[in-house]
């Protein structure tokens, strides 16, 4: 079985388990799942020293991580949210709680951010203290699987190349406990792993997280490069 097939088998198992146990809304299959207790993950994360020290947070736009994005704005942190599918030459929304013209609740929502935030390119961004990554499954060593589109890996790789994500950046996966699996998760050269997993009930510290050094162009098809404007003209293969 190929690595892609093994990853998909894990996704299928976790999606079905979440729905079977009513831990995620109906229709979560195929997505970064929202889950019961997501508000509590934001509370636990906000109690951590790494959160208190952080000034800038980068988060995915999925609904599952809405409570963490809201907490970041309420705590006065500069928040970067990825534009869905990185479909812009300025692929991140900048949400600064000091200058927001709407409520944090509206700004933290994906559609609200699209209306209220300024889009920025990598050259206009500050260094990232914490990355919040949506995940379908993680294991206690920190290996993770997204929904399979590869955008989280690309976002982190792009920011790593720019020197904005470094070995000092903390990567966190807020998930339901059913998404924390005992299986080995296959990893490729472009996969990153996480420093912490936060469930509604516990914080799991992961050892020796993996950090790719940047974009691995050989892993990208011409179709992907054409579909993501910020990659245009940067093919280094």
**Residues 149-175: tens digit of each pLDDT:** 778 888 999 999 999 999 999 999 999
pLDDT for the residue numbered 235: 45
User: Residue ranges of the chain with pLDDT lower than 70?
Assistant: 233-237
**Which residues does 87 contact at the CB level (< 8 Å), separation at least 6?**
227, 228, 229
pLDDT for the residue numbered 8: 96
**Which residues does 140 contact at the CB level (< 8 Å), separation at least 6?**
180, 182, 197, 204, 206
d(CA 54, CA 158): 20
d(CA 138, CA 146): 9
d(CA 21, CA 14): 10
Coil, strand or helix at 189: coil
pLDDT for the residue numbered 237: 40
- Longest alpha-carbon distance in the chain: 51
Return the CATH fold of 3-227: Rossmann fold (3.40.50)
174: tokens are 């807020």
Domain boundaries, the chain: 3-227
pLDDT digits (tens, 9 = 90+) for 40-51: 999 999 999 999
pLDDT for the residue numbered 236: 47
Classify residue 72 as left (phi > 0), alpha (psi -120 to 50) or beta.
alpha
Coil, strand or helix at 198: strand
d(CA 169, CA 224): 26
pLDDT for the residue numbered 222: 83
31: tokens are 């997505």
């Amino acid at each position: 079985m190929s690595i892609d097939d093994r990853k998909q088998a894990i996704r299928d198992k976790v999606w079905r388990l979440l729905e079977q146990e009513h831990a995620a809304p109906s229709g979560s299959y195929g997505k970064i799942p929202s889950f019961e207790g997501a508000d509590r993950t934001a509370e636990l994360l906000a109690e951590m020293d790494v959160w208190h020290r952080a000034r800038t947070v980068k988060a995915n736009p999925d609904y599952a991580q809405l409570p963490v994005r809201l907490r970041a704005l309420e705590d006065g942190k500069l928040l970067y949210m990825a534009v869905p599918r990185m479909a812009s030459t300025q692929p991140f929304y900048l949400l600064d709680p000091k200058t927001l013209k709407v409520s944090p609740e509206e700004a933290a929502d994906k559609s609200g951010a699209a209306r209220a935030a300024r889009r920025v390119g990598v050259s206009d961004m500050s260094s990232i203290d914490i990355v919040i990554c949506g995940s379908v499954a993680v294991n206690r060593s920190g290996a993770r699987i997204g929904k399979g589109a590869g955008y989280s890996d690309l976002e982190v790789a792009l920011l790593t190349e720019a020197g904005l994500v470094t070995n000092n950046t903390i990567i966190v996966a807020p998930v339901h406990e059913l998404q924390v699996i005992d299986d080995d998760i296959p990893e490729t050269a472009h996969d990153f792993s996480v420093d912490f997993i936060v469930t509604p009930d516990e914080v799991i510290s992961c050892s020796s997280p993996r950090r790719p050094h940047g974009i691995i162009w050989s892993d990208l098809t011409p179709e992907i490069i054409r579909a993501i404007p910020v990659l245009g003209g940067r093919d280094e293969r």
